[in-house]
A and B are shown apart, each in its own frame.
Chain A
Amino acid sequence: MMAPLVQVEHLEKRFGDVRALDRVSFDVDAGEWIAIMGPSGSGKTTLINILGGLDHPSAGRVVVDGLEIGGLGERELTRYRADKIGFVFQQFHLIPYLTALENVMLAQYFHSITDEKEAAEALARVGLSDRLSHVPAELSGGEQQRVAIARALINNPKVILADEPTGNLDEANEAVVLKLLRELHDAGHTILVVTHSRAIGNLADRRIELEHGRLARIIAPSLAKD
């Protein structure tokens, strides 16, 4: 039996006296789509930041693709983010003075070497082949999020971490982004999505629900429906 791609064991994160995550444990298999849900302040973003190597755990163990990230220094964490993680943020977080193509190439640049053709193909995959030379200000919210998805995919990451990817989008654009996520999942990508949306939660293989920093329940929507 294959080891899980992501292992989280007794994970704790404290900010002063506040316990943002309290002994959270779960596994994620390669190719799974996980929705992380819960009310505001339940620790969803903190969890995804730790999984993405943006923050350090206070206690517990996090292993991603065989690498225990809790003990990594800043330099190793930076390499880890470049090699294994693709981020999609609610606020899109594109560099405003770079074009769509250059925003995608920026991730290549920090990973290894840039390949303009490959970056253009990634944008074509998310339906933006006619927007390569547009800067973010010239793109709609949905288009910006699609650029962010292309950027997240460009280095073939082990895990895609999306924090409220449709939170700033209208219904039409939400549908486009969801379709993209579904396609990525079908293509075998491992996706962890922080969301408030039941619709997204129901599309996932499993829902991890947090409350007050604790793991409240893990639900497999398909089984629940059955």
Chain B
Amino acid sequence: MFSRILWRLLGASRGRLTVALIALTSGAAICSALLNVNLDAERKLTQEFRTLGANVIVAPRTTGSDAALLDAGVVDRIEALYISAVAGVAPYLYVAASSGSQPVILAGTWFDQVAKMDSWWKIEGGWVSSRGDHDHCLVGFNAARQLGLAPGSSLQLRSGNRDISLTVAGIVTTGGAEDNQILTNLDSAQALAGLAGRASLVQISVSGTASEIESVTRKLAEALPGLDVRPVRQIAAAEGTILERIRGLLFWTIALILVLSMLGVLASMASLAMERRKDVGLMKALGGTVPRIMRLFLAEAGMLGAVGGLLGFLIGVLLARWTGERIFGVVISARLEVLPITVALTIGVALAGAFPLRLLGRVRPADILRGE
């Protein structure tokens, strides 16, 4: 009988319940879209962050000595850990050299890794794309101005009694130390310095939030005893802050949408409550207890919430896809974990919005039957 009455209730108040359902579905659709966008956007943002340079550094522990170097084989040890969050690893060897009478800093590295980790660098000319390219170099913007170099220029570098000749592939602007350096193949730098197999430090790019980066840093530190493994705090913190702000914005937006949606339901339910006063009075006169009558109304609201949540989820997936393509330029795929969250939130909103119906429990049957 419960389901029979429930069905009749739904049929009898189609108009008002449709309005409530529209409010619930709209709220659920926006929540579902935001949650879908957030989950995918967070993943994509962390990927984007990884193009902004290294956020973890591995360096020799001894400090205050210019001669402190590490074995470049440490890179193999890092790669052997198979940490999925590690997006790129690049060893660096810094060598003091000269170009004619001008002192310069030569940085030897793996360009294939640098291209992945620092794809945002502004290059005039071309990248050195291969790790095995021993003939080309990138020259920092300030160094190029000082040495009068342009893409295609030749460059002779000397350190001690060793020389190397390089051709400038491009002029690089980073706004950092690289602007004053010449960057070339690691092997070439090691050969010039006579430091085969050595590196000054290793730069690592780790995906994730600040806490995830911390966790990877700890794992690396355990695997590399005797070396100093530390996150580049500013970058890690900035990335973490951006993600946290996005989450905060999302939380408050969803909360606002749910409140607005609840107000919509509340308005419909208030009218419905007025319509149902007589029915409730009669039900009470016939011996219906308040909890038994309220169960009917709450089940009705719960069903409305479940249907609204389900419809909202589906619409939200389409909305997220559209938003992803139009605003972020990426395809955002449906995340199934959003479905139970959306449905649960919408049922909660529907039950909260059904508050006026709960007030019907106070109706006095004698008043209703008198026609008041």
Contacts and interface: CB of A to CB of B under 8 A. Distances in A.
A114 B365 CA distance: 23
Interface in A88-108: 89, 91, 93, 95-98, 102, 105-108
Interface stretch (B35-43, B64-72, B284-292, B307-315): B284-292
Given A54-B365, A54-B366, A89-B369, A95 B287 contact: no
Given A55-B366, A96-B12, A78 B4 contact: no
A106 B283 contact: yes
Interface string B339-372: 0000000000000000000000000111001110
Nearest to A114: B1
Nearest to A55: B366
A23 interface: no
Contacts of B12: 96-97
Interface string B259-283: 0000000000000000000110011
A93 B282 contact: yes
A84 B284 CA distance: 14
Contacts of A91: 369, 371
Interface string B28-52: 0000000000000000000000000
B282 A78 contact: no
B287 A83 contact: yes
Contact of A105 (B1, B9, B285, B366): B1
Nearest to B368: A93
B369 A93 contact: yes
A45 B287 contact: no
Nearest to A52: B285
Given A49-B366, A93-B282, A110-B283, A102 B8 contact: yes
B8 A98 contact: yes
B369 A75 contact: no
B369 A54 contact: yes
Contacts of B369: 49, 54, 89, 91, 93
Nearest to A85: B287
Contacts of A151: 286
Interface residues of B, number: 26
Interface of B: 1-2, 4-5, 8-9, 11-12, 278-279, 282-290, 292, 364-366, 369-371
A106 B12 CA distance: 16
Interface of A: 45, 49, 52, 54-55, 74-75, 78-79, 81-83, 87, 89, 91, 93, 95-98, 102, 105-111, 114, 151
Which of B12, B279, B283, B286 lies at the interface centre, i.e. has the most chain A CB atoms within 10 A of its CB?
A: B286
A109 B9 CA distance: 16
11 contacts: A45-B370, A52-B285, A78-B284, A82-B286, A82-B287, A95-B283, A98-B5, A107-B287, A110-B289, A111-B287, A114-B1
B8 A78 contact: no
B9 A97 contact: yes
What are the 7 closest A-B residue pairs judged by CB atoms, nearest first? A82-B287, A97-B12, A54-B366, A110-B287, A110-B288, A109-B1, A114-B1
Given A54-B369, A109-B5, 4 more contacts: A54-B364, A102-B1, A107-B287, A114-B1
B2 to A, nearest CB: 8
A49 B288 CA distance: 16
Contacts of B290: 74, 78
Nearest to A157: B287
B246 to A, nearest CB: 48
Contacts of A109: 1-2, 5, 288
A114 B284 CA distance: 17
Nearest to A99: B8
A87 B1 contact: no
A79 B287 contact: yes
Nearest to B8: A97
Nearest to B292: A110
A52 B286 CA distance: 10
A102 B285 contact: no
A109 B283 CA distance: 10
A91 B288 CA distance: 20
Contacts of A89: 369
Given A54-B366, A114-B1, A107 B286 contact: yes
Contacts of B1: 102, 105-106, 108-109, 114
A93 B11 CA distance: 20
A106 B286 contact: yes
Which of A96, A107, A109 lies at the interface centre, i.e. has the most chain B CB atoms within 10 A of its CB?
A: A109
